[in-house]
Structure 1
Amino acid sequence: MAETASELRKQILLKHGEQKASTSYDEERSIPVKEQLGENLHDGLSFGQFMLAGSVAGMVEHMAMFPVDTLKTRMQMLASAGGSYHSGVGKSFLSIVRKEGPFGLYRGIGAMGLGAGPAHAVYFSVYEVCKEKLGGNKPGHHPLAHAASGVIATTASDAVLTPMDVVKQRLQLRSSPYRGVMDCITRIFREEGIRAFYVSYRTTVVMNAPFTAVHFATYEAMKKVLSGISPESASEENLLVHIMAGGTAGALASAITTPFDVVKTRLQCQGVCGADKFTSSSIGNVVQTIVSKEGPTALLRGLKPRMLFHAPAAAICWSTYEASKNFLHHWSAHSSS
């Protein structure tokens, strides 16, 4: 009878999305659900399960939004690579489709497929661990803990993603000289050395540190605001909350960090298809070169497609991530029972 009552209480708590449900239940039943890889984490999930949820979220996000990412790359390389595409998002889209066909928008997607899963697995799992350690899961609003956790997470994940991001962006260029992912990897390694895969890593971290700090802090803050507006409908498990909070966070963070993204793209694609080469990978040197040749507005090139990418991408990513966490949470609870 006691076991039946405990099971019923657990199901009620899970239904209302309370994070302590699995913990209290496991303490009562002495089943270490959260110890699959050694360390207990909140939400009743292990480190490995956070990695799995993050991997799924990253793959879905980047695959769904890849055509917009191609537009952003083309627009940012417009002057440097001697491109002839129109500056408008719509005209650039039609120009690519007309000249290269619909598949021109997906060139390089294989490289992103190889990099996005592992990188986002690291991204979200490190974020969850750091947020727990820094007190971000305690009651109340903790923007500094969320921001710091995001910065640490992106520094780790960028080390995984940057090499494939270099390959992806070179394949996205108009008239790219590479036949495919493996050809691009082989030629970069042979002709430029392994350093070429990480030439933009410093810039990427400098860009993604404020991007992620703003992103995570805004996301967590928006969830609190939405929960305060309508507590009965804006729960942790509400899909609309994750979509709205994620979309707002993605749009704001991408707008703020666009100049760094332009620098990153130029570094990763330098020397390809006639693009400018830089004497060093210093951010200041690249910015000075771009401004002197194209004017300061060149640092905002690709702003619209970047925001068009990150707003829905963040909404997709967060909602997928939270849905995956919820599924794994229920799966763990069901397996333990």
Structure 2
Amino acid sequence: MATTTTEFFPEISVSPPSHDGLEFWQFMVAGSIAGSVEHMAMFPIDTLKTRMQAIGSSSLPSSAALTLRQSLGSILKLEGAAGLYRGIAAMGLGAGPSHAVYFSVYERFKGVFTASNQNNAAAHAAAGVLATVASDAVITPMDMVKQRLQLKSSPYKGVGDCVRRVLVEEGIGAFYASYRTTVVMNAPFTAVHFATYEAAKKGLMEVSPERVGEDETLVVHATAGAAAGALASALTTPLDVVKTQLQCQGVCGCDRFSSCSIQDVIQTIVKKDGYGGLMRGWIPRMLFHAPAAAICWSTYEAAKTFFQELNGSDNSID
């Protein structure tokens, strides 16, 4: 009976396996694997970005002190290579679940919004925005813990110590102080990212007409993902700086804000460091997101292919 409904009314079907032949849980597993691989592989670059964004130039002896090279050199000299991975456990705890939510929600709504037009960029963007609002609710607390652990001379011994101390000293609200900013940042980030990814993937496949009808290659997914990540990260860097400031406020010399207002944080940054302060860390942010997106999308599509083949094998046995 359910099969008949899907067949005659595909535009209103919400059956999980209706898109790409996968079950809802398979999208979640594929997304979880992709997110974990992406963040673990690129974590050192993320640490450099956090260090560059957290403390303004006015807190340093030189306005040029937070360059990428100097930040890297300082960490390696004072903390060793291990300093680049401080906080990775927090990201490990948050990346898997948040990306499981991220991709499963995206695929569900992508299937609903593009029922009549699979190449609708607006539909891909809208699905991406809904996905990021849901996933940010999962990742934000661990992202805050991760960023505080990444700071130079962080006062926290580890994930558990940071969680306990923040709860006691600042309350549970501190874990979500940057949630609004994160959503405001990631909504356009994700819209640009997904729309660019789908458009780039389509364009790359059309470059070689002889490949039409064949499986999309790993190179296509990686290239499209890198282009999407680079563009989206560049456009949203100012809001990422605000997010970092809110998550690290009051720790290791970072400013403390009376409210979580994006406008107030922006005004504080501009007053201290000028408008250039809003672009702090844009280079490592792009260096993170371009390869990270390539890794994430290629891993995700590979996992989807695995499940599609697995489902095909199961069907053939039945």
Q: What TM-score does the superposition give when structure 1 sets the normalisation length? A: 0.86
In the other structure, the counterpart of 1:270 is 249
Q: 2:46 aligned to 41, 46, 69, which one?
A: 69
Where structure 1 has 5 or more consecutive residues not aligned to the other structure, the ranges are 1-22, 28-36
Q: Is the 8 A contact 2:90 2:145 kept in 1?
A: yes
Q: Is the 8 A contact 1:243 1:316 kept in 2?
A: yes
C-alpha displacement of 1:336: 2.5
* Mapped partners of 1:140, 1:108: distance in 2: 40
| Identity over aligned pairs, percent | 65
In the other structure, the counterpart of 1:289 is 268
SS at 1:280 equivalent: coil
* Mapped partners of 1:168, 1:190: distance in 2: 18
* Mapped partners of 1:286, 1:278: distance in 2: 7
Q: Is the 8 A contact 1:199 1:281 kept in 2?
A: yes
C-alpha displacement of 1:40: 2.7
In the other structure, the counterpart of 2:31 is 54
Q: What TM-score does the superposition give when structure 2 sets the normalisation length? A: 0.91
Q: 1:205 aligned to 183, 188, 197, which one?
A: 183
In the other structure, the counterpart of 2:172 is 194
In the other structure, the counterpart of 2:221 is 242
C-alpha displacement of 1:95: 1.6
In the other structure, the counterpart of 1:231 is 209
* Mapped partners of 2:255, 2:194: distance in 1: 34
Q: Is the 8 A contact 1:41 1:47 kept in 2?
A: no
- The aligned amino acid for 1:195 is G
Q: 1:257 aligned to 216, 219, 236, which one?
A: 236
- The aligned amino acid for 2:25 is G
Q: 2:157 aligned to 174, 179, 185, which one?
A: 179
The aligned runs of 1:17-56 (5 Å cut-off) are 39-56=16-33
The aligned runs of 1:155-174 (5 Å cut-off) are 155-174=133-152
* Mapped partners of 1:154, 1:211: distance in 2: 9
C-alpha displacement of 1:280: 0.7
TM-aligned CA distance change 1:140 to 1:158, over 3 Å? closer
* Mapped partners of 2:94, 2:203: distance in 1: 34
* Mapped partners of 1:145, 1:100: distance in 2: 46
In the other structure, the counterpart of 1:111 is 90
CA RMSD in angstroms, aligned pairs only: 1.9
TM-aligned CA distance change 1:185 to 1:83, over 3 Å? farther
Q: Is the 8 A contact 1:81 1:275 kept in 2?
A: no
SS at 1:277 equivalent: coil
Q: Higher relative contact order by CA 8 Å / sep ≥ 6: 1 or 2?
A: 2
In the other structure, the counterpart of 1:32 is none
* Mapped partners of 1:312, 1:231: distance in 2: 27
C-alpha displacement of 1:81: 9.4
Q: Is the 8 A contact 1:81 1:274 kept in 2?
A: no
In the other structure, the counterpart of 1:11 is none
Q: 1:304 aligned to 268, 274, 283, which one?
A: 283
SS at 1:40 equivalent: helix
Q: 2:55 aligned to 60, 74, 78, which one?
A: 78
SS at 1:213 equivalent: helix
Where structure 2 has 5 or more consecutive residues not aligned to the other structure, the ranges are 8-13
* Mapped partners of 1:320, 1:251: distance in 2: 18
C-alpha displacement of 1:91: 2.5
C-alpha displacement of 1:38: 5.8
C-alpha displacement of 1:164: 0.2
In the other structure, the counterpart of 1:20 is none
Q: Is the 8 A contact 2:58 2:273 kept in 1?
A: no
**Aligned pair 1:90/2:66, yes or no?**
no
C-alpha displacement of 1:138: 4.6
**Aligned pair 1:127/2:106, yes or no?**
yes
SS at 2:108 equivalent: helix
* Mapped partners of 2:189, 2:166: distance in 1: 28
C-alpha displacement of 1:232: 3.1
Q: Which moved more, 1:107-116 or 1:234-243?
A: 234-243
Q: Is the 8 A contact 2:43 2:84 kept in 1?
A: yes
The number of equivalent residue pairs is: 302
- The aligned amino acid for 1:215 is H
SS at 2:210 equivalent: coil
C-alpha displacement of 1:231: 3.0
In the other structure, the counterpart of 1:30 is none
* Mapped partners of 1:313, 1:103: distance in 2: 20
* Mapped partners of 1:81, 1:126: distance in 2: 42
* Mapped partners of 1:140, 1:328: distance in 2: 21
